[in-house]
Amino acid sequence: MQESSNTMDVQEEQTTTKKPVAKQNAMQQRITKLLKQLGEGMHEREQVLAIALLGAIAGHNTFLYGPPGTAKSLISRRLAAAFDQPKYFEYLMNRFSTPEEVFGPVSIKELKQDRYTRQIDGYLPTADFAFLDEIWKSSPAILNSLLTIINEHIFKNGAERVQVPLKSLIAASNEVPAENQGLEALFDRFIIRLVVPPITAEENFARLLNSKPSSDKPAVARELLISYNELEQWREQLHNVQLSADTMLVIKYIRQQLAERFDELKVYVSDRRWQRAAMLLKASAFCNGRKETNHSDTLLLKHCLWTAPDNQPKVVSLVDDAVKRCGFDTEIDLAKLDKEKEALDKEINHELFHSEDIYKTETLKDGQVYFKVVATFKYSRRGYGYNTQSDEKKTLYVPLVRFKTQGEFHPVDFSGNENSGVKCEFDGQGSCKLTLNNSYYEDYTFDPKILFHRGDKKQDINERLVKSLATSVKDIRNQLALVLNQVHKKHKKLKTELFSPFATDEETDIAVDGITTQTEQIKLRIADCERLESLCQQ
């Protein structure tokens, strides 16, 4: 096996779940510092704020799901504070809300001129950022106009079509829109959906109680603020970011799972949502100074795909599992290699070893295979005046097809003729009881003799074929060694790139665990190939 060991001499890095501290690039440093200042005093809301900011950079709207009093409005105000001189609008919806309260009152002056227009300054149509609380409680008139604003960034103010400067809309509620209410299209436009629960950690809750009320306008360094010109440039540059092959592999797996488990999850993801979710991943890569997405970006899909509180935890688990299962995309089809290796395994074992116990048998003139039984039936009446009676000795043939079956049958003689004077019956374990049609003789028990046990090596081996099989296994092992080297190189690079202000350490550890698992599985495949090669050389 020296040759095999040489092939396995790959340059491996020690895999570990501990990630080194990555050196941040300028863009990453700026976003990280900005989020730190925005999130001051935001206990357990830092990631929600971070992802909402990422959504604003990508041009997406965010839906915050959670009970009242969980700082949803504060998150929205803090988000607006990340930008230079934002115009901000906020409103609490209810079933009595009127369009005037959201889009502005009707201009009396214009009405006297027979023109129906609104005074929109200071209202949603002129806002850069907006927060609509309890959005689903609003009237259809407001929601229909809102859909137009989100879709086209246009507000129809009478006969005039006003370009809306809205950069990002945050909506909040402790419920999702009910089915068959015509709100599916509007809900689908909220690409990011974040759960905002009450504070859970005791230490954070204690800090909340001991801290002063959080400010709507945190102190943010001037140089960190995002200008609207910058934002426009960034959004253009997002199109230069590519979805990596690793990301596409995860997306493919998630789509398959959503389709296969639709009856369980009840999750439908439109093509539009997939496209915009992909833009969110690109925005994450861009803000981390990369031109290609990686696993930390892909984990953000958990915030884009759920549709109801019931399926939200399942979608989160599905995305985490997908990232962990898929690992790195490789240029070699591992599934195909597995099938080839499995087929070779079966063929090698078939050629080298007995797949079942081989018994001593004979083939008679009728072409059937039998166990030859030389049975001695002992006379059981001796000592009662029958001492002259001798034992009965017979040569019989028991059909192999009856082996371990149930029910009585008759054996045959050498010529294949049935002997009706003897009955046979297997006990289901392998022993056969033979009984004479004469109660004076004891039964005879026959145990078939095993010539070769299952797993014993065959003696008549096709050496040429086995050598060819060994060569095929070696080829698979060499391909796996290439994959292992490839994974190690990508893993080493990934360790320095996994950090993201939009993902927690626990989340990125999922990706690391997935790569570690992938590495271990490849090593197991290689070891199995070495086992097969070793069998061929014995």
The answer to whether the beta carbons of residues 51 and 502 sit under 8 Å apart is yes
pLDDT in the model for residue 140? 87
Q: pLDDT value at position 342?
A: 93
Domain 41-218 classification at class level: alpha beta
DSSP state of 114: T
Q: How far apart are CA 251 and CA 428, in angstroms?
A: 53
What is the per-residue pLDDT for 440?
87
User: How many Å separate Cα 216 from the centre of its chain?
Assistant: 39
Find all residues with CB under 8 Å of 229, minimum gap 6, and list them: none
Distance CA 339, CA 344 (A): 9
Chain-centre distance for alpha carbon 503: 18
Q: Could you give the CA distance from residue 409 to residue 434 in angstroms, rounded to a whole number?
A: 10
Q: Is the CATH code 3.40.462.40 the one for domain 227-326?
A: no
131's enclosing H/E stretch is: strand 129-133
- Amino acid 494: pLDDT: 76
Best CA proximity match to 232, nearest among 139, 128, 306? 128
Q: Residue 405: phi, psi to the nearest 5? A: -90, 175
Pairwise CA distance, residues 74 & 79, whole Å: 8
Domain boundaries of the chain, sorted by first residue: 2-13+333-350+461-537, 41-218, 227-326, 358-452
> Which residues does the chain have with pLDDT short of 70?
1-23, 382-388, 538
* Span 451-498, pLDDT tens digits: 989 888 888 888 889 899 999 999 999 999 999 988 888 887 777 788
CB atoms within 10 A of CB 527: 12
DSSP line for 40-103: TT-TTTHHHHHHHHHHHHHT--EEEE--TTSSHHHHHHHHHTTBSS--EEEEE--TT--HHHHH
Return the pLDDT at 10. 39
Phi-psi region of 104 (alpha: psi -120 to 50; beta: other; left: phi over 0): left
Name the DSSP letter for residue 9: -
Q: In this structure, are residues 525 and 337 in contact, taking their beta carbons and an 8 Å threshold?
A: yes
Q: What angle do CA 256, 258, 259 make, to 5 degrees?
A: 65
Predicted structure pTM score: 0.75
Are 198 and 44 in contact, with CB atoms under 8 Å apart?
Answer: no
**The length of the chain, given as a count of residues:** 538
Q: Which residue in this structure is represented by tokens 């015509």?
A: 182
Closest CA to 517 of 297, 342, 321: 321
Q: Alpha carbon 86 to chain centroid distance?
A: 40
The owner of tokens 């230079």 is 84
Burial of 51 (0-12, 13-18, 19+ CB in 10 A): buried
CB 150 within 8 A of CB 55: no
Give the DSSP letter string of 322-380: HHHHH-S--SS-HHHHHHHHHHHHHHHHHHHB-SS-EE--EE-TTS-EEEEEEEEE-B-
Q: Are 43 and 207 in contact (CB under 8 A)?
A: yes
d(CA 478, CA 340): 14
For residues 463 and 404, give the distance between their C-alpha atoms in angstroms, rounded to a whole number: 35
DSSP 495: H
> How high is the mean pLDDT of the chain?
89
